[in-house]
Amino acid sequence: MSVMKVSSQPIRGQKPGTSGLRKKVQEFIGEHYLENFVQSIFNAMGECGGRVLVIGGDGRYHNREAVQVIVRMALANGFRRLLIGQGGLLSTPAASCLIRKYGADGGIILSASHNPGGPDGDFGIKFNGANGGPASEAVSAAICQASVVIDHYLITDSPDINLDSPGEHTVGDATVEIIDPVADYAELMESLFDFPKIEHLLQQGGFTLCFDAMHAVTGPYAVEILERRLGAQPGTVINGVPLEDFGGGHPDPNLVHATELVRRMRGDKPPDFGAASDGDGDRNMVLGSSLFINPCDSLAVLTANAHRVPGYRNGLAGVARSMPTSPAVDRVAAALDIPCYETPTGWKFFGNLMDADKITLCGEESFGTGSSHVREKDGLWAVLFWLNLVAELNQSADTIVREHWQRFGRDYFTRHDYEEVPAQQAEALMDELRQQLPSLPGRSSHGHTIVAADDFSYTDPVDGSVSHSQGLRLQFGNGERIVLRLSGTGTSGATLRLYANSHEPDPDMLGIDTGKALASLLAAADTIAGISRHLGRDGPDVIT
């Protein structure tokens, strides 16, 4: 095996976004594109000699080819040991689990998360550090910096590794291990949750479940854990075979894209509980038999009941949520008398808090929930947590949520996405609103009066780093709030996200339709931010 030094030059736009580098597949398969970025990761890591790397992806189009390239580059850069999920597959939370369990120096995960796949879809690559979490802002900046000065990369001429045959291969001085992508993760889940109790619920309790893997990476994980280990009926997991194009679907677990699950939940005999996960297995949507459980509420309910689950029986160090997420969990944290942190959007901000033992649970409105068991959000973990609660409390998920609202009040929450907006229009809207911020307090629209307005900045309480411009916040009276920010995960044009939430303490007002509850607040947002005026659109593309 010989190492080749291949001349290259910087390629524009290799700047990681909210969650790694995401582009159209066609851009990724361009000459040197993947190689440049991977070498930039290695250059940012510093000396790679003797180090250990985890590699895997969500199985989307180009996954296998990319794994082979990364293996050859890792060997050329001197890594000592590579751990690769069989078939090139690893869910994002499983990759995080492996990095931590085997003391790896980091991992490369190939995924564009919930974005569509296939030859015309998206591809992505993320680097996670030794704590198993997404690269911090500083590391992402170092990778980007390396990508703009790159002049060569290293790659071996070794043959392709057989990704389908488990076991150890020796290549030169290095060991390449093809490992079961599910086993370590399933073991971790068993250590956190009361499997015998969930098993009893699923087998003797007559409780029915439908898990939509959306033809993405969680299929094998869900089949192994839910059907094989917990004994759920065969067929509980639907769309369970990972496909390179996700069966033509959009692997985003929400009411718009998880169509088959939604159809079953709205059918004549709905299952007692429904759930879905995304392309790389870190997101979750959970549904009671007659209730969509908003991710913000899900985090609040899990926090309030964590002591009922074995892995969290000793209490929580604290909790955190991203800024646009509703403050439902804040009320629970106050009742439990534990700290609650408000971070910018992006899982990377939770890592420092977990490493410093400041938080145990965290979550985001974008269908992300997780804990310090790994350093990523974790879709299947959230589903198991809910099943454990249902089994423990002997109540339906719907009842658990409704009783939670009775106790804490309900935080109505919605997000409106305006997708593929010309970047200039989106920036003009944000700039105009940003300039108005100082004069907004006191202004009223549609019966709502602004009491405070700012551009969110976050100072990391652990390392003191500051992240500016993380979203425009308009705080109204009565706990109502509007947030506007531009997505950091899209691949074409800009996506404007408009978030709205309000708090309702009146026990008689907890069952209102969310759209109705927030209609006038959203109308106020449109007037104040000039959304339809700037974008020339009648309404959002997706409402969650």
Catalytic residues: 113
Measured from the CB of residue 282, what is the shortest distance to ligand G6P in angstroms?
A: 7
b/e per residue 170-195 (b: at least 16 CB within 10 A): ebeebebebbebbebbbebbeebbbb
Does 364 contact ligand G6P by CB under 6 A? yes
> Of 124, 344, 346, 540, which one interacts with ligand G6P (CB under 6 A)?
346
Nearer to Zn ion, 217 or 384 (CB): 217
In the stretch 216-255, what mask flags binding to Zn ion with x, by CB under 5 A? ----------------------------------------
Residue located via tokens 């629209």: 445
How far, in Å, CA of 354 to CA of 358, rounded? Answer: 6
Q: Is 347 in the site for ligand G6P (CB under 6 A)?
A: yes
**By CB under 6 A, residue 345 contacts ligand G6P:** yes
Count of Cβ atoms closer than 10 Å to residue 78 Cβ: 17
Can you tell me the distance from the alpha carbon of 483 to that of 455, in angstroms, rounded to the nearest whole number?
9
At 248, which amino acid appears? G
The token pair that represents 241 in the structure block: 């075979």
Q: CB 473 → ligand G6P: shortest distance, Å?
A: 15
Site map (CB under 6 A) of ligand G6P, residues 7-36, x = contact: -----------xx-----------------
* CA distances in angstroms from 291 to 234, 272, 288, 420, listed in the order given: 24, 10, 5, 30
Kindly give the interhelix angle for 397-408 and 328-336, rounded to the nearest 10 degrees: 70
Asked whether 349 and 358 are in contact (CB, 8 A), the reply is: no
What phi-psi label fits residue 232: left (phi over 0), alpha (psi between -120 and 50 degrees) or beta?
Answer: beta
For residue 245, which phi and psi values (nearest 5 degrees)?
A: -115, 15
| Residue (122 or 280) nearer to Zn ion, CB | 280
CA contacts within 13 A on the Cβ side of 486: 21
Nearer to ligand G6P, 375 or 534 (CB): 375
Rounded to a whole number of angstroms, the minimum distance from the CB of residue 312 to Zn ion is 23
280 contact, one of ligand G6P, Zn ion, none, CB 5-8 Å limit per kind: Zn ion
Q: What residues from 101 to 120 belong to the interface with ligand G6P (CB under 6 A)?
A: 113
Q: Please report how close the Cβ of residue 281 comes to Zn ion at its closest, in angstroms.
A: 7
Beta bridge pairs of residue 370: 362
Binding mask 105-124 for Zn ion (x = CB under 5 A): --------x-----------
List binders of Zn ion among 275-314 (CB under 5 A): 278, 280, 282-283
CB of 369 to ligand G6P, least distance (A): 11
Report the residue number, 43 or 345, with the smaller CB distance to ligand G6P: 345
Q: Which is nearer to ligand G6P, 305 or 369 (CB)?
A: 369
Binders in 229-288 for ligand G6P, by CB under 6 A: none
The site partner of 121 among Zn ion, ligand G6P, none (C-beta below 5 to 8 Å per kind) is none
Task: Give the C-alpha distances (Å, rounded to integers) separating 485 from 19, 140, 437, 471, 495.
Answer: 16, 20, 14, 5, 9
Shortest Å distance, C-beta 419 to ligand G6P? 10
By beta-carbon proximity to ligand G6P, the closer residue of 60 and 448 is: 60
Total residues contacting ligand G6P by CB under 6 A comes to 13
Helices 63-76 and 33-45 meet at what angle, rounded to 10?
40
What are phi and psi for residue 401, nearest 5 degrees?
-65, -45
Instruction: In angstroms, give the least distance from the CB of 123 to ligand G6P.
Output: 15
How far apart are alpha carbons 519 and 78 in whole angstroms? 58
Q: Is residue 368 near ligand G6P by the rule CB under 6 A?
A: yes
For Zn ion, which is the closer residue by CB, 194 or 278?
A: 278
Neighbour order of strands in the sheet with 494-504: 444-445, 448-455, 472-476, 481-486, 494-504, 410-421, 542-543
Q: Please report, as residue ranges, which positions from 476 to 515 form the binding site for ligand G6P (by CB under 6 A).
A: 487-489, 497
Residue 288's CB: how many other CB atoms inside 10 A?
21
What does the binding site for Zn ion look like in residue numbers (CB under 5 A)? 113, 278, 280, 282-283
User: Which chain residues interact with ligand G6P by CB under 6 A?
Assistant: 18-19, 113, 345-347, 364, 366, 368, 487-489, 497
